Amino acid sequence: MAEHFHLNTPLLESVSMSKRVGATVYLKMENSQPSGSFKIRGIGHLCQQLATQSKGVVCSSGGNAGMAAAYVARKMSVPATIIVPSSSPQLVVQRLQDEGATVRIVGKVWDDANAEALRLAETEGLTYVPPFDHPLLWQGHATMITEVAASLGPGVKPGAVLVSVGGGGLLCGVIQGLKDTGWSDVPIIAMETVGADCFNAAVKAGKVVTLDDITSEAKCLGAKTVCTKAFEYSQRSEFTIISEIVTDQEALQAVETFLDEERVLVEMACGAALAAVYTGLIRRLQEEGRLPSLLGPLLVIVCGGSSVDMKQLATLKHKLQT
């Protein structure tokens, strides 16, 4: 990649999480990317390949893909239209507008907004920026793993990687990165919330399925159907992908604990992954023999997210009564 938009993010050791897990925990701080999440890696790469001559980009998003597209478009001096569903909080709309994007609210969930983005791309001749389902996105996301390898140095390899899954783009990127690094045998724990669990549903059904609705408050995990590539990876024997779900309450509690202990505010989409540590899920997987009892360093992808501030946190707490 020539010039790129993402940053090389810090890899921090978390003492409090390490204590809970009983192994060293490293946090890949994707929350510190411009635009607030890992999405900038893939979307920056995709736009460099597809949008240099563009008259404008259009992106459907729960929020963070849109933030990345708006940021990249501004840097490339290309107009950006972001389509979000009505479930995205007002603070995201404001942040997208502050980034210079035109924002349209269409439909109830991301899938509705996506149909409109595809239509606009077709009728207006705009470059469509998908939030999770494209090989260029996965290639861009993969850089986070090669960076981790460089930060850890030779001879150190993660014992497992912990990620959140929405539409599965992050998962595909992490797997791509593990392949690039020669770490394909590292198990991945893929986390979703109940009610935004399209990957878990696909793994259980043995085929890609479409959820009836998104009932989780982790709206940025709210794709009704996981991308085919993510499902395909789950079926291949060379990768170990452990699909698990947590409740919204657990994801929100994880956001709060992470804020208290690491002094960083992330959204519930990220809290889903963090909850695997705070609820004792990692320990349970070890007890069940699904992860080694002597676990190497646990790599947590802190995917971040802009759909949160103290007011939104209070709103979610009230809604979920935590």
Q: Does 270 bind ligand PLV (CB under 6 A)?
A: yes
Q: Does 93 bind ligand PLV (CB under 6 A)?
A: no
For β-strands 298-302 and 102-105, DSSP reports them as unpaired
Burial 268-294 (b: 16+ CB within 10 A, else e): bbbbbbbbbbbbebbbebbeeeebeee
Q: Which two tokens stand for residue 123?
A: 């009728």
Q: Which of 83, 277, 303, 316 binds ligand PLV (CB under 6 A)?
A: 303
CB of 206 to ligand PLV, least distance (A): 20
183 three-state secondary structure: coil
Q: Does 190 bind ligand PLV (CB under 6 A)?
A: no
155 three-state secondary structure: coil
Interaction pattern, residues 124-153, with ligand PLV; x per rule: CB under 6 A: -------xx---------------------
Interaction pattern, residues 240-269, with ligand PLV; x per rule: CB under 6 A: ---------------------------x-x
Sheet with 102-105, edge to edge strand ranges: 102-105, 80-84, 57-60, 127-129
Cβ 199 vs Cβ 167: under 8 Å: no
The DSSP element (H or E) to which 57 belongs, if any, is strand 57-60
> What's CA 316's distance to the chain center, in Å?
19
Q: Which of 24, 48, 54, 64 binds ligand PLV (CB under 6 A)?
A: 64
How many angstroms separate the CA atoms of 225 and 196, rounded? 9
CB of 19 to ligand PLV, least distance (A): 25
Q: Which of 24, 37, 200, 243 binds ligand PLV (CB under 6 A)?
A: 37
CB of 121 to ligand PLV, least distance (A): 16
Query: Binding-site residue total for ligand PLV (CB under 6 A)?
Result: 28
Q: Does 170 bind ligand PLV (CB under 6 A)?
A: yes
Judged by CB, which is closer to ligand PLV: 111, or 147?
A: 111
Near ligand PLV in 101-120, by CB under 6 A: 110
How many angstroms separate the CA atoms of 136 and 4, rounded? 13
Residues near ligand PLV, by CB under 6 A? 37, 39, 61-65, 110, 131-132, 164-171, 220-223, 267, 269-270, 303-305
